[in-house]
Amino acid sequence: PWQFCGTWVWILVAATSVSFPLLQGWVMYVSLTSSLISLLLLLSYLFGLHRNSENWKVLDSLYHGATAILYMSAAVLQANATIHSESGPNSPLYYHLNSAASLFAFITTFLYILHAFSIYYQ
């Protein structure tokens, strides 16, 4: 689910004109990098590279915890870009796209936090 939501963050930000490249560039970087690394971890898990190791649980928990922190920073920056896009050109369309991207960024952050803690407490 976090990969799905993270992909939507990237798609929605890319659909705007990226009026604030410093803010939204970080959002796009975090969402794309997190999706790719999560996909690689998922594939390595499906192919059995984890071998039921305790180190795998630690790696998984640390990765998702660190990614949750990065996604929180991206979500806050996207919310800031949403506030600034309210009065810009094409404001209704870009404002709605940025609002949806902010919502998905916060949902993705929450999902990464849940996954990190669920692995830790197993």
Note the pLDDT of residue 88.
66
What's the Cα-to-Cα distance from 109 to each of 4, 114, 122, rounded to whole Å?
12, 9, 20
Note the pLDDT of residue 90.
67
Domain range annotation of the chain = 1-121
Give the closest residue to 30 by CA, choosing from 99, 105, 81.
105
Chunked into runs of 10 residues, the chain (122 residues) has average pLDDT values of 83 85 90 90 88 82 92 95 80 88 94 86 70
Note the pLDDT of residue 65.
92
Note the pLDDT of residue 112.
92
What's the Cα-to-Cα distance from 99 to each of 23, 30, 84, 114, rounded to whole Å?
14, 18, 11, 23
Note the pLDDT of residue 101.
93
